[in-house]
Amino acid sequence: MKNLMKQMVVLGAVVMALAASETLTYAKEKGVSGSWTLSAEGYVLKLVLVQSGTKISGTLQGTHGPWPLKGQFAKGRITFSGGGPNGIGGKEEFSATGVLQSDGTLVGDLTSATSGKLTWKAVRTVAR
């Protein structure tokens, strides 16, 4: 009986490890191209990324229009920066770093000229 319980515990651990590995592998293979909802300490913005190799481009939809961005994604890590008008006569500039999580989300830090340093999380937008 003890031996059977040990085997079941080991089997359960193996299944969980394989499932986590598959999720991370799937997320890495898929890359970061697509639409995302980026949340950063009260801000909720639409993020659109296009990936070509390790290079990424796209837009971050600010309250006063889209801000173009560029950066890279490699080995599960993303960096991007961009900017545009901030709506009050000035210019917004931002840069971000993040990591692709095993659940497919992106999590990191963003530094903004107008808002300072923020923690962010992006979730893929499901196509309807």
pTM of the model: 0.72
Q: How many helices, marked H, and strands, marked E, lie in the chain?
A: 1, 8
Strand-pair category, 91-100 with 77-85: antiparallel
122 or 86, which is more confident: 122
The identity of residue 92, as a single letter, is: E
Q: Give residue 2's pLDDT.
A: 63
Per-residue pLDDT of 39-92, as tens digits, reads 999 889 999 999 999 999 999 997 778 999 999 999 999 999 998 877 676 788
Lowest mean pLDDT among 5-19, 28-42, 59-73: 5-19
Cα–Cα nearest to 32, from 81, 78, 93:
78
17-77-44-57 Cα dihedral, nearest 10 degrees: -130
Which helix H or strand E contains 30, and what residues bound it? helix 2-30
- Per cent of the chain over pLDDT 90 is 56
Q: Give residue 128's pLDDT.
A: 59
CA dist 77 to 7, 74, 100, Å?
Answer: 37, 5, 6
Q: Give residue 50's pLDDT.
A: 97
Task: Taking residues 91-109, report their average pLDDT.
Answer: 95
Phi/psi at 75 (5° precision): 55, 40
Lowest mean pLDDT among 20-34, 58-72, 94-108: 20-34
Domains within the chain, CATH numbers bracketed: 31-124 (2.40.128.120)
